[in-house]
Amino acid sequence: MDIGFIGLGVMGAPMAGHLISSGHKVRLYSRSGPPAGLLGEGHACVNPSEVARVSEIVILMVPDTPDVENALFAEKGVAAGLSKGKIVVDMSSISPIATKQFATQIEALGCDYVDAPVSGGEVGAKAATLSIMVGATEKAFARVKPIFELLGKNITHVGGVGDGQTAKVANQIIVALTIEAVAEGLLFAAKAGADPAKVRSALMGGFASSRILEVHGERMIKRTFAPGFRIELHRKDLNLALSSAAALGVSLPNTAMAQELFNSCAARGGAAWDHSAMVRALELMANFEIAKG
């Protein structure tokens, strides 16, 4: 299959690599140019429009809503190169509201639109174990599912276009609040004089156990805050949550609080820290740092 892949950063490059190694002809585009490791097997294009002209399916993996809009609808964007029957798949994490607007414009060209944001970070992208949350028609989902199976392990057709992005926003809310809960618990334990590593080990055998306690709790104790998933990206996702909630008339008070903790970290130069470093904002308020394990 001829597949176009736009956005070859930390996540996009290994994802495109999996498609290439599976035998697909992959057309590549990135504003900074395709990584050298992909050029031997992939085919570089000069702009998104060219990618769309020579591909059956066009995948986008870019940072934010304006980036998707530009890739799709700029003068030499994807829309300019599409023809009827093609599929546009956005695997970025962007606004559910904007996603539905983009889909309407692409569908007017006789093409299908699929939103399929992912969870699992750089590790999941490299290992092809991403969770993929899909918003699409049944027909479009059936066409792209074999592609997703090369990129991830947990592939869920959530519903119609936009529902994938909605699921991803919900995921990011839950992740942020769980990071905050783990940070508070371990900070409390350490300040009270207990060994936070042993407390974490004890909690892993009980109802408080979680993947975040396992992975990010260890990061907090060992002070390993190299990303991972950067605070600046999680802030972007919580902005999507809060703006969408405002449009829906829904209050998300603890999401707003988690965002303020991320904002505090960013103000201290930590926008590029792993999101587990949210604990640093709480440590600053407590004037106490969890001891190294």
- The tens digit of pLDDT for each residue in 176-186 reads 999 999 999 99
Residue 261 banded pLDDT, cuts 50, 70, 90: very high
68-101 pLDDT, tens digit each? 999 999 999 999 999 999 999 999 999 999 999 9
Lowest mean pLDDT among 30-44, 50-64, 233-247: 30-44
Q: Is the pLDDT of residue 63 over 80?
A: yes
Q: Name the token pair of 125.
A: 């992208």
Residue/partner pairs of 244-249 with CB below 8 Å, 24 or more apart:
244/95, 244/96, 244/97, 244/166, 244/169, 247/97
98-157 pLDDT, tens digit each? 999 999 999 999 999 999 999 988 889 999 999 999 999 999 999 999 999 999 999 999
Active site residue 153: no
Q: Is the pLDDT of residue 292 over 70?
A: no
pLDDT, mean of residues 150-179: 97
Lowest mean pLDDT among 40-44, 77-81, 223-227: 40-44
Give me the pLDDT at residue 39, please. 67
Q: pLDDT > 90: what percent of the chain?
A: 91
CA–CA dist 282, 280 (Å, integer): 5
The active-site residue out of 139, 168, 222, 236 is 168
Lowest mean pLDDT among 56-60, 141-145, 199-203, 288-292: 288-292
Q: Is the pLDDT of residue 233 over 50?
A: yes
What does the mean pLDDT of the chain come to?
A: 95
